[in-house]
Structure 1
């Protein structure tokens, strides 16, 4: 039901599953396994997989070990990689153009970090007219409680809760577990 009427397809977004981002992340291995299963499913169904990789000058410098994607999630030849410097993967990147080329109006979103780049990107996609499904057990975050944030398990749970109740005219939002992901149009 996307407002992008000329885009009937779906794409899987894998956001910032990088060594430096996942160091100490909540349920790291389970989230990686869930994303790997979704990538395999998307590839087998001919659904585009789009990888997003963050960089900054302090924590994730380009080409550093922290910047690299985790080894458990290899990108296949021909799958696009979007480099970003802002939380929202649409900001100052070619993501919109890549999705338009693939006629994707519905996004299935996975990755890290729940309270930063995931949140920014799902909102960014939704305001741009996409239907957005967040995979509730395929995103994670680190523990920022020493700076006053809730623990990571609460951040993930809250993100899933509020995204399930997000709505706007002509678009859908929601959260599903990995086992219930469908790449078919609604």
Structure 2
């Protein structure tokens, strides 16, 4: 700001192209306009004492992306890519959750639903600020990362994800996390409808659903919504440039 007024001119960052092997064909992305969207890697989905763990869900599936993401995230940040943590985060009073969503979370009268406490009490399930809504400790959230909470399968429904991405000039989204056929795919599909270019990282995503469901999602993404690539391929393609990062307080 100056006495002459406020400048609304935005200086675009120079493009940083990167070739990435993918299906149905390789793609070139701009690292400076790309975001790695990590979906729902939270304690309530991935920790044995979390909401899913206490329900008896397959934590082997929900934890499967952790080792790959632990390798990919530092390299992605160092290369200049943006990290977006897209997490479930419901209101404590659940006033914006309709009965059908309540039922899918609770499943029975005796079950534990959104914003309720499990028998081994680690706080209200998936409420921002509670333990369960935090990202698992194996994947540190850093100060330069972006965190957005959602309260539906799609991260673009009734929240600020779209405006946050557009304000940062981000046009290509690479998706990872859980569950491949639920929140990951719902968000990827809506991203495509909104004009984003989408890449699903198949070895950094997982689901508790049967394997044939994942195959179907990969087919649909390849045919309609974008591209399917691997985090291993992305790691190999990234330029190596170490940088300092500090954990978020």
Q: Same fold (TM over 0.5)?
A: yes
TM-score, structure 2 as length reference: 0.60
Q: Distance in 2 between matches of 1:160 and 1:93?
A: 26
Q: Which has the higher contact order (CA 8 A, sep 6+)?
A: 1
Q: Distance in 2 between matches of 1:71 and 1:94?
A: 25
Q: 1:26 to 1:158 in 2, by over 3 A?
A: farther
Q: Indicate if the aligned counterparts of 2:62 and 2:178 stay in contact, CA closer than 8 A.
A: no
Secondary structure (helix, strand or coil) at the match of 2:152 reads coil
Q: Does 2:224 align with 1:166?
A: yes
Residue in structure 2 matched with residue 119 of structure 1 by the alignment: 185
Q: Indicate if the aligned counterparts of 1:28 and 1:140 stay in contact, CA closer than 8 A.
A: yes
Q: Does 2:204 align with 1:138?
A: yes
| Structure number with bigger Rg | 2
User: How many pairs are equivalent?
Assistant: 165
Q: Does 2:130 align with 1:64?
A: yes
Residue in structure 1 matched with residue 87 of structure 2 by the alignment: 53
How far did residue 26 of structure 1 move? 4.6
How far did residue 155 of structure 1 move? 2.5
Q: 1:155 to 1:19 in 2, by over 3 A?
A: farther
Structure 2, unaligned runs of 5 or more: 1-31, 47-52, 95-113, 115-124, 240-249
Secondary structure (helix, strand or coil) at the match of 1:87 reads coil
Question: Aligned match of 1:20 in 36, 40, 44?
Answer: 44
Matches within 5 A, 1:100-119: 100-119=166-185
TM-score, structure 1 as length reference: 0.79
Secondary structure (helix, strand or coil) at the match of 1:159 reads helix
How far did residue 54 of structure 1 move? 0.3
CA RMSD of aligned residues (A): 2.3
Structure 1, unaligned runs of 5 or more: 1-7, 144-150, 168-172
Residue in structure 2 matched with residue 5 of structure 1 by the alignment: none
How far did residue 28 of structure 1 move? 4.2
Matches within 5 A, 1:3-42: 9-22=33-46, 23=53, 24-42=58-76
Q: 1:55 to 1:107 in 2, by over 3 A?
A: same
Q: 1:98 to 1:74 in 2, by over 3 A?
A: same
Q: Distance in 1 between matches of 2:59 and 2:219?
A: 20
How far did residue 110 of structure 1 move? 0.6
